[in-house]
Structure 1
Amino acid sequence: MTFSELLQAVRTNPEALVIPPLWGQGRASFGGLVAALAFEAMSAKVPPGRPVRSLALTFVGPVAADVPLSFQAEVLREGKAVSQLCLRAVQDGQVVTMVQGSFGAARASAIEVAPLPAPQIEPAERCQELPYLRGVTPEFTRFLAMRWGIGGMPFTNNPSRQMGGWVRLRGEAEPQALSEAHLLALVDAWPPAVLPHLKSPAPGSSLTWTIEFVQPLQELSTEHWCLYRAEIEHARDGYGHIAAALWSPTGELIAISRQTVTVFG
Structure 2
Amino acid sequence: MTFAELIQAVHNRPQHVVVPPLWGQGRATFGGLVAAMIYEAIRAKVPTGRPVRSLSITFVGPMQMNEPVAFEVEVLREGKAVSQMLGKAVQQGAVVAIMQGSFGASRPSVVTVSSIPAPAMKPVEECQELPYIKDVTPEFTRFLAMRWGLGGLPFTNNPSREMGGWVRLRSDVSHDKVTEAHLLALVDAWPPAVLSHLKAPAPGSSLTWTIEFVQPVANLTTHDWCLYEAKIEHARDGYGHVSAGLWSPSGELLAISRQTVTVFA
Deviations 1:176-233 (A, max 9, x none): 0000000000000000000000000000000000000000110000000000000000
Q: Give 1:173-184 correspondences, 5 Å limit.
A: 173-184=173-184
CA–CA distance in 2 between the matches of 1:36 and 1:180?
8
Does residue 234 of structure 1 match 2:234? Answer: yes
Does residue 6 of structure 1 match 2:1? Answer: no
- Stretches of structure 1 lacking an aligned partner (at least 5 in a row): none
Matched with 1:135 is: 135
Matched with 1:40 is: 40
Q: Give 1:73-84 correspondences, 5 Å limit.
A: 73-84=73-84
Does residue 264 of structure 1 match 2:264? Answer: yes
CA–CA distance in 1 between the matches of 2:90 and 2:247?
32
Matched with 1:99 is: 99
**TM, length-normalised to structure 2:** 0.99
CA–CA distance in 1 between the matches of 2:117 and 2:45?
35
Matched with 1:188 is: 188
CA–CA distance in 1 between the matches of 2:117 and 2:82?
29
Secondary structure of the structure 2 residue equivalent to 1:194: helix
Secondary structure of the structure 2 residue equivalent to 1:49: coil
CA–CA distance in 2 between the matches of 1:4 and 1:173?
10
Deviation of 1:171 (Å): 1.9
Deviation of 1:115 (Å): 1.5
Matched with 2:153 is: 153
Deviation of 1:116 (Å): 1.8
Matched with 1:219 is: 219
Secondary structure of the structure 1 residue equivalent to 2:193: coil
Matched with 1:68 is: 68
State the one-letter code of the partner of 1:236. R
Equivalent pairs counted in the alignment come to 265
Secondary structure of the structure 1 residue equivalent to 2:199: coil
Deviations 1:125-158 (A, max 9, x none): 1100000000000000000000000100000000
Matched with 1:144 is: 144
State the one-letter code of the partner of 1:120. A
State the one-letter code of the partner of 1:190. W
Deviation of 1:173 (Å): 2.7
CA RMSD of the aligned region, Å?
0.5
CA–CA distance in 2 between the matches of 1:217 and 1:88?
25
**TM, length-normalised to structure 1:** 0.99
Would you identify which runs of 4 or more consecutive aligned residues in structure 1 move more than 4 Å? none
State the one-letter code of the partner of 1:252. E
State the one-letter code of the partner of 1:10. V
